[in-house]
Structure formats: structure tokens, C-alpha cells
Chains A and B, each alone.
Chain A
Amino acid sequence: MHNNIKYPILETLKEASKLDQSHDMWPGRDNAFHSFLSQGFPHKKLEKWRNTDLSEFLEKDYQYIPNTDPISESDINSIFHCEIHNFETYLFTLHNGAYVYKQSPITTLDNGVVIGSLRSAWESHNDLVKPYLNELTENMLNGMVSLNSALATAGLFVYVPDNVKVEKPVQLVNMINTDKNPFIQAKNLIVVGKNAELTFVQCDDSVNDQDSFMNVVSEFHLKEGAKLDHYKLQNKELSSVLINTSFFSLKKDSKLKTNTITLNGGNIRNETIVNLDGEGAEADIFGLYLADKTQHIDNQVLVRHNAANCYSNELFKGILDDEASAAFNGHILVQPEAQKTNAFQNNKNILLTDTAQVATKPFLEIYADDVKCSHGATVGQLDEDALFYLKQRGICDLNAKMLLMYAFAEDIIRHISIPSLHDSTSDMVSRRLKGELSACNQCVLHCNDQKPMEFDIDLSKI
């Protein structure tokens, strides 16, 4: 074993893998566990993990929570109740890693859309699950992915048939609320059929300040002409670890927009792998991270241009306060056959203190000769000239700073195309920038707080 550090959780995981193999579930999990054992947990000597150190968390005493069959809960609102005004969604919940349902573990809508527990879908809709499951998961990407492949069986499955447009967004709330220190795996599989359309909102929350370790892998299949509008909203307690790996495959002329908004997080790692597999596919990959105290947020994006005439655009922006740290690693790989590629990448950061840090690394690997690629990275403070300009118009120091930070963040927020989600996110970012939002006691969207955010400046109309 490469990484032979004996973390307390390791023996439990080994036991779990033996037990779990007996369970009648999809194959390949045993191999995945061996892959995990050979790679170990990611560590700082790995180039891609040099800025994110899991060791201090892995030293902790976690309690492994195995995935279970779906749990029925008639009063689902007692677990989670989303109150964003006018935000109507098909709502699904993972509660401490268990899929919780109100009426049925798996539902087929009138238009043929199948949504529900992945574990249940494996049995009831095997023909829809089997061709896609673990098709994109790259176990050798790192130990976290292989560990997930080995142990995760609970999560959400969404299947959108060809030519179907899902009117309401599908929302998955991944909630941790337990007084144990849970170590949880979860796995999601989303298939969007030919010329079909889906909006998918993933909310990651933790409710209390218990130590927790969450490892999520999601696979997204976009068939020819499919459209996926994807959001990840993260608001986690300081003592939580969240490793989120998303694999996307984009077939011909499909379109992806993915937006990762991290407002709080103990230690968050978002790994996004986008494969542009068919000609004319387009991917917009946006991210916003606001961190303070000792929070650490790491965004890793790998875009593989595997076909010609594809477009990708990455924009990640962060504001870091106190002793917070962030990492951004953007890797664009253009294969020899991917001529006429357009690939852009930008990472911008504002550091509010001398002790905040960011490591940003663009990496372009291009094997085709007729491509248009660009990258850029900036790390700076608030622009003194802009502050002078605002204050000269009579705007006080605090509001001038707020306005500049909001404007900086707005560049990402404006890409949220669901109006109610846009407005609540904008409100949350405003609160967050004003220091009034900590990891929330209800959910990432913090809408139970009835009092609307009031600024000295009306930011809502900017």
C-alpha cells in the first residue's frame, strides 16, 4: 500500500468492504476497493493534492456509516424544508448518507422521467442504470473515487428520456445531521437523454458542528443535444470535510452549465471532470468561493476536449478572509483530433488579509494545432483606485468594499438562470460578505430566516 498511514478509519473500511461485497449490488466494487488500497487516501505528495491536506482530518475518530436501503419518512419536512420563495423543485434528500423518501423510493413521472434511489433503481430499472453506472468513474483518478466506487451504493438516480424537458428543477439535499462523527459515501447517477433538458440543484449542508467526512461521486451523462443546468451549493460547518467528484460526459451538440457556489466549508474539495466527447459540445464551468476563518476550498477542474469544434469556458472567483485558503487547478487537455477547439479558463481571487492564501494553477495541454485557448489567474486585494472612486462619490468605506466584493461575485451569480435561486443566492452572498451568514442552521439556501437582508446599498437591483 502506497499510503501506509494507519488512519483509525482504515480498518473499519476494510471490514465494511468485506461485508458489503456480500450485498446483492452492482459488480466491480471489490476491484475498486483494491484500487483504493493500492492508492490509499490522497496525500500532499501527490501533485494534485499538494494544497489540500486530509491527514489532520483522517486522524480523527469517525464512525463509518454504511449505505442502507432507502428509508421511508412520512414527515420529510422534519428533515428538510426548503423555503426559497417560488422555488418549486422535485426535492430529494440524502440524510446522513441514507436516501430518504416520502411515498416511494423510486418514481416515474408522466413524461417517463425516472427519479429516485440509485439502490432501488438498480433493482427496479436495471436496464436504465446498468449501461451508465460507473461508465465515467475513473477509479484511478484518486483513492477517494475508488473508495466511493467500492462502498457507495446510496444516492440519487435521475433518468430523463429523449426529447423530454423537465420543467421543474430536480433538487438533491445532502444533509448531515447526527451527533456521531459520520464518515459517509454517496453516489449519484444522472442521465439526460437526446435533446432532453434538466436542471439539477445539489445542496450540501451540515447542520451541527460535529466532525464529518463526506465523499460524493456523481456521474452525468449528456446524450446528443442534451442540456444540463447544474448547481452545487455548499454551506458546511468548519469541522466538516466534503470531497465532491463530478464526472461529466458530453455527447454531440450537448450543453452543460455547471455552477459551484461555496459559501462556507471546513475543508471542501470539488473535483470536476468534463469530457467533451462529441462534436459541438459546450461546457460552461463556473465557481464562486467565499471562505473565512480556517476554511479551505479546493476546486480542481479537468476539461478534456476529445472531439472537434467543442467549447469550454471556466471561470472561478474567490474571496478569502482571515486565515482561509483556497486552491484552483484548471487543466485543459486538447486531444489531437479536437481541432477548432475553443477553451478558456480564468481564476480570480481577492485576499482580504495577509494571512489568507490561494494557490492557483492553470495547465494547458494541447495536442491539436488549430485551437483557441486562453488562461488567466489573478490574486489581489480590493482595487484601491476603485475604492477611492466610490468613496469620492460619498459612499462609506464599508459599503464601498461591500459593493466591490459583491460586484466581483456577481460575475458568477449572474449565470444562475433560475430567478428564485438567483435571488436567494445573491441574498446569501450579500449576507456572507457582510459576515452575517455562517453555516446555516437549516440549509444552504438559508431562507428560513424571514427577515430580508437589508443593505445600506440596495444590492438587489444592481
Chain B
Amino acid sequence: MLEIKDLNVSIDNRQILKGVNLTVKPGEVHAIMGPNGTGKSTLANVIAGKEGYEISGDIIFKGKSIMDMPIEERARMGLFLGFQYPVEIPGVSITNFLKAAVNEKRKSQGLDPIKASEFLKIIEEKKNVVEISSNLMKRSVNEGFSGGEKKRNEIFQMAVLEPDMAILDETDSGLDIDALRVVAEGVNKLKKPTNATVVITHYQRLLDYIIPDYVHILFDGRIVKSGDKSLAVELEEKGYEWVKKELL
């Protein structure tokens, strides 16, 4: 599904990622953990195609190098990034925003725009995934949303767009325990043998709800440790200091 090979990323001559390798297969859930400032969000942004970085190495998605591909084409191929800080877009309702997204993907596949009735059916069906209210759907994208509503909205969009590969960047940040549970359950409901998820998080807490097949620790721009879910538990007990000491 996704293969990252020796990825080096710099911004303003400062190297953030120093040779990251990662392979994600269909049906898998990976967690990338690490302290703040180790390049977790940079990794997510670079996979999604955000501009402004100097990059070497390769990113292969569904068998194809996407290094030179614009953001929107990666998205239409089935790559989804759940944002740590979802952007507010005043004046654009979620429904129309998503309709535009769905139709642009359909257009790229040579399909006609989705019928209004069909689209509404999808919206109704997917709303239940994250218990999002109809009222919220009419509001402008993320405008005045609480932290929990913003993250629910991210997972809701993921449900509608049905990506093959979802990268969820710090989805747990700013959430209380109830919102965390709803969001995590939403992610679990969307899991299929044909899709894959990468969860980026600082805390082990989220992984009580989303059970990863693999856990990777990103530290100082490198994946320094990989293991199964027990690694997350160990990390929670011993803290990041433990990783630092092991490296020295």
C-alpha cells in the first residue's frame, strides 16, 4: 500500500527527517509515536505532498512513486490526511465542501458528478460513524467548531471519501475521553482488509481504542524502534527518556 524509502526531509537547511523507512500493507494499522518536534507531522505532510520541503528518497503509494505528484492527485488516488489542526473555511458548508471533493475525484476518474440524492444518502449513512449532528453539516467547515467537533469532522470526511490509506495526525490531541472514544470507534468502523491506517500520536492513550498491528518510535528524524502494540505500553511506562538512553 505505502512504502517509504530512505526519506530525508529538510526545511530551511534544517534536516527534519533523516532516512525514514516504512512499509504499510493493506489491512494494517500502524502507530507512529514520538516526542514533540521529532518530525511526526512533517512526515504526514510530506506524504500528503505539502510544498516547501527539500526531499530525497522515495514514497510509493499503490505501486507508484508519488514524489512528483501534486497534493490533490495523491488525494484522489486514495490518500487521506486527518489534520492535527483542521482549517476553518468560513462561508463553505461541510456538505458542499465534501460534494466538491467527491466530484473532483469522480471527474478525475471520468465519472459524472454524483447525483444529489445519492450524495445525501452517503452523507446520512456516514454521519452515524462519528455521531455527527445534522446541524453541524450545515455549518461552515470547522468554523467555530470545538476541538472535538473538528476531529469528528475529519473522521466524517474520511468516511465519505473512503480512502485506501489514511494518515491521522495527532487525532487525539485536544480531545476529552468521550470524544476520543467516538473518534477512535469511527476509525475502527472504517477499517477494511483493503485499506490501511497510520496513526500518529504522542500518547499511548489513543492506542487503547485503536489497536495497532505495528508501533514505530520516531525520534530525532529516524524510526529508532519498531514492534507490536506492547511497545506502546512499554513506552508509556518508561517514557521517551528510555528511548533516549538506549540510543546513547
Contacts and interface: CB of A to CB of B under 8 A. Distances in A.
14 contacts: A385-B85, A389-B86, A389-B89, A390-B89, A391-B49, A392-B49, A393-B161, A395-B72, A407-B140, A414-B91, A456-B103, A461-B93, A461-B96, A462-B96
Interface string B74-93: 01100011010111111111
Contacts of B11: none
A394 B105 contact: yes
Interface residues of B, number: 35
A406 B87 contact: no
Contacts of A399: 100, 104
A392 to B, nearest CB: 5
A410 interface: yes
A290 B101 CA distance: 27
A383 B91 contact: no
B157 interface: yes
B91 A395 contact: no
Nearest to A410: B91
A393 B75 contact: yes
Contacts of B239: none
A458 B96 contact: yes
Query: Which 6 A/B pairs are nearest by Cβ-Cβ distance?
Result: A407-B91, A410-B91, A391-B71, A394-B75, A393-B101, A389-B87
A388 B50 contact: yes
Contacts of A386: 87-89
Contact of B70 (A393, A397, A407): A397
Contacts of A400: 72
Given A389-B83, A393-B157, A458-B96, A411 B90 contact: yes
B139 to A, nearest CB: 12
Contacts of A414: 91
A404 interface: yes
A403 B72 contact: no
A392 B44 CA distance: 12
A392 B96 contact: no
A355 to B, nearest CB: 23
A29 to B, nearest CB: 47
Contacts of A392: 48-49, 71-72, 75, 80-81, 83
B55 to A, nearest CB: 16
B97 interface: yes
A376 B76 CA distance: 39
A396 interface: yes
Interface in A406-462: 406-408, 410-411, 414, 456-458, 461-462
Given A383-B87, A389-B83, A407-B91, A396 B96 contact: no
A1 B99 CA distance: 63
Contacts of A457: 96, 100, 103
A462 B91 CA distance: 7
Residue of A388, A390, A393, A462 with highest tally of chain B CB at under 10 A: A393
Query: Which applies to chain B's interface (DSSP): helix, strand, loop or mixed?
Result: helix
A390 B15 CA distance: 27
B95 to A, nearest CB: 8
A395 B104 contact: yes
Interface of B: 45, 48-50, 70-72, 75-76, 80-81, 83, 85-93, 96-101, 103-105, 107-108, 140, 157, 161
Nearest to A389: B87
Residue of B70, B81, B101 with highest tally of chain A CB at under 10 A: B101
B104 A408 contact: no
Interface of A: 383, 385-386, 388-397, 399-400, 403-404, 406-408, 410-411, 414, 456-458, 461-462
Contacts of B90: 407, 410-411
Contacts of B104: 394-396, 399, 456
A290 to B, nearest CB: 15
A389 B75 CA distance: 11
Contacts of B45: 388
Given A385-B85, A388-B45, 9 more contacts: A388-B50, A389-B89, A390-B97, A393-B97, A394-B76, A394-B101, A399-B104, A414-B91, A461-B93
Query: Which applies to chain A's interface (DSSP): helix, strand, loop or mixed?
Result: helix
Contact of B92 (A394, A397, A462): A462
A333 to B, nearest CB: 30
A414 B140 CA distance: 13
Residue of A394, A397, A399, A456 with highest tally of chain B CB at under 10 A: A394
A406 B100 CA distance: 14
B102 to A, nearest CB: 8
Contacts of A388: 45, 48, 50, 71, 87
A458 B45 CA distance: 28
A392 B105 CA distance: 11
A251 B171 CA distance: 54
Given A386-B87, A392-B81, A397-B70, A407 B92 contact: yes
A390 B81 CA distance: 11
Nearest to A383: B87
A411 B143 CA distance: 13
Contacts of A456: 100, 103-104, 107
Nearest to B72: A391
Nearest to A386: B87
B92 to A, nearest CB: 5
Contacts of A389: 83, 86-87, 89
B136 to A, nearest CB: 16
Contacts of A462: 91-93, 96
A383 B107 CA distance: 26
Contacts of B85: 385
A403 B100 contact: yes
Contacts of B89: 386, 389-390, 403-404, 407
A394 B161 CA distance: 10
Nearest to A407: B91
B107 to A, nearest CB: 7
B87 A385 contact: yes
A393 B159 CA distance: 12
Nearest to A462: B96
A462 B107 CA distance: 20
Residue of B49, B50, B92 with highest tally of chain A CB at under 10 A: B92
Contacts of A458: 96, 99-100
Nearest to A455: B100
B159 to A, nearest CB: 13
B141 to A, nearest CB: 9
